[in-house]
Amino acid sequence: MADTESRHWWFTGRRRILASVIESLRLPDNARILEIGSGTGGNLKMLSRFGKVSSVEMDETARAIAAEKTGGVFDIRDGICPTDMPFGADEKFDLVCLFDVLEHIEDDVAALLCLKELLTDDGRVLVTVPAYQWLWSAHDQFLHHKRRYSSQKLIAKLDKTGFSADKVSHFNSFLFPFAAGARLLDRLLGRASASGTSVPGSFVNTTLHAIFSFERFFLGWMSFPFGVSLIAHFHPKQGYIQDH
């Protein structure tokens, strides 16, 4: 994974899109940023452009790889959302990020509620998740997904947990016909492994990166009506009281 996320067009393109979205959030100077489910650390350097970065990752090997490849400069803690978050009551963040993590969590509602405890008064959350349950395939099984999301389903869960959505959009839209076709073909043929997970040849990889990452120029002023994934940023509703 560490090798793939440094070179594969999907990871590199997604980082450019995420950086563009974070830049538009106008975070405060010296913002505190938390990535939950940071894996082997592929996003940490990108996030550090916008503030001081901490992360949580449950896998010991992934944490070790992340620390090694980033020179040990980031605060990478052992933990799992939502049951074991390793932060005290005085540790709050201006931005909490979950990049293709929420779909791995059995109780995503509990996870969203947990995030509220980590935010500053003006803090926000940025998430990406896979879209459309009808795209479920070997890719999701291989990655141990619990679900895929529709925009309506994601917004409903945000509303249920006391968040207000600032933006919800599909992305990976330009390549959607090809990606959807590959997922459906995997399912039709009963493949045990997903298509497109290995790093393609240089020309194809560079071309797909350019097409995918170009979406960042559109996400600042519009929302895509379809795409392989969803991206959302949101903040707690004022005066919201959780009904237990």
Query: 175-216: per-residue pLDDT in tens?
Result: 999 988 887 887 777 666 665 678 999 999 999 999 999 999
C-alpha dist (Å) from residue 141 to 67, 91, 100, 112: 28, 35, 14, 23
Q: What is the mean pLDDT of residues 156-176?
A: 97
Please compute, for residue 152, the number of CA atoms within 13 A of its CA located in the half-sphere on the CB side.
Answer: 2
Domain extent, residue 159, equals 2-134+148-173+203-236
The structure tokens listed for 5 are: 């996320």
pLDDT at site 160: 95
Share of the chain above pLDDT 90, in %: 83
17 is a domain residue: yes
Q: What is the mean pLDDT of residues 130-139?
A: 90
pLDDT at residue 46 tops 50:
yes
188 is a domain residue: no
pLDDT at residue 20 tops 60:
yes
Of the listed ranges 58-72, 129-143, 152-166, the one predicted with least confidence: 129-143
Q: What are phi and psi of 188, to 5 degrees?
A: -60, -40
pLDDT at site 244: 40
pLDDT at site 164: 97
Is 45 within 8 Å of 22 (Cβ atoms)?
no
244 is a domain residue: no
Is 223 within 8 Å of 164 (Cβ atoms)?
no
* Best CA proximity match to 62, nearest among 36, 80, 39: 39
Euclidean distance between CA atoms 16 and 63, whole angstroms: 23
> In total, how many domains does the chain have?
1
191 is a domain residue: no
32 is a domain residue: yes
CATH number at residue 9: 3.40.50.150
Q: What is the CA radius of gyration of the chain?
A: 17
pLDDT, greater one: 216 or 142: 216
β-sheet with 51-56: strand ranges across = 75-77, 51-56, 31-36, 93-99, 119-130, 229-236, 163-171
